[in-house]
Amino acid sequence: MGVIKFGGTRAEVVFWGPLQNDHRLFENSERKRIFQRLHKFMAVNFKDYLPQLKELQEIDRRLRQVEFELAAIPEQLETSGAEYLVVARALQEKETTLSTMNKERQSLETLIKEQTIQVQEREKRLYAIKTQKEYQATLKEIAQMKKETKDREERVLKLLEEGEKLTQEITQLKSQAADKEGGYRQIEGELKKRQEEVETEKARITERRPALLKELPPEILKKYEFIKKRFADALASVKKGICQGCNMNIPAQFYNEMLRAADLRNCPNCHRLIYPEEV
């Protein structure tokens, strides 16, 4: 048998018994290789690091949640604003239409007033006309002007009816816009406040994670990070022989060995890191 002694720049393997006088000396490169091999064969007690793994998974799970929530906030704000903007645009369009209709109506009313005066003047001139031809021409002109006036009056009446209906719609839209704008501003304030809270929580969680990583052995952490690329949760418990990650049965012999052993195991079905709930 023998032991390994390290000192200075050399590593010495010392044997006793039949090989008591047999010494082997190793330079630094050999010393490094021996350290690596010793480290490789040193068993890592998985159970000792299970609390840290659980905490790490909970941190990663919460980070996913807060990142999802942060990503959803702008969309929620846009949705709330979209409802308000739809009403606001509809209100603006109807107000523009009403303004155009009012201008047209006012212009028609002016023309009607002017044309009515012109008709009255021509009707007075009829008594002074001496020729039949001029008389008939004036009558025809008066009839044409009266027809135009009638058409314009009908258009004015239609514009008044449409304007009244449009005014009612505008009143309703103004009320809706006021309600939605108030709701939008309230939601905007609430979402911004929530965003600040979530960002604060994310910063706190993110700050804890690096310290937790240092507490885990590299071989365990490597497995955890590798599996996390495939599954959101890399760690799963086994309850009554069933992996809680994939809900598949664990072979009985495998499960019994896992209960006795302290090493890190992978689910034979989904390959998550697994541990019995008894741990």
Q: Angle of helix 46-125 relative to helix 218-228, nearest 10 degrees?
A: 30
- The reported pLDDT for the residue numbered 10 is 38
Distance of alpha carbon 233 from alpha carbon 261, whole angstroms: 23
Query: Which mean pLDDT values do the consecutive 10-residue runs of the chain (279 residues) have?
Result: 38 38 45 43 66 94 93 85 86 96 96 94 89 92 94 95 95 90 84 92 91 91 92 92 94 88 83 83
How much is the pLDDT for 20?
39
In this structure, what is the dihedral angle of CA atoms 92, 94, 97, 101, given to the nearest 10 degrees? Answer: -130
pLDDT score, position 4: 38
Q: Would you mind telling me the total number of residues written for the chain in this entry?
A: 279
- For the CA atoms of 222, 224, 225, 229, the dihedral, rounded to the nearest 10 degrees, stands at 140
Query: What pLDDT sits at residue 25?
Result: 40
Q: Provide the H-helix boundaries in the chain.
A: 28-41, 46-125, 132-214, 218-228, 252-260
pLDDT at 110: 95
State which H helix or E strand residue 248 sits in: none
Residue 22, token pair as written in the block: 């047999």
pLDDT of residue 84: 86
210 by Cβ neighbours in 10 Å (0-12 / 13-18 / 19+) ranks as exposed
pLDDT attached to residue 158 = 95
Closest CA to 59 of 220, 181, 232: 232
Residue pair 242/236 in contact by the 8 Å Cβ criterion = no
- Name the residue type at position 278: E
pLDDT of residue 259: 83
CA 122 – CA 137 distance, rounded (Å): 11
Query: φ and ψ at 25, to 5 degrees?
Result: -105, 140
pLDDT digits (tens, 9 = 90+) for 42-90: 445 677 889 999 999 999 999 999 999 999 988 888 887 788 888 988 9
What is the CATH code for 63-214? 1.10.287.1490
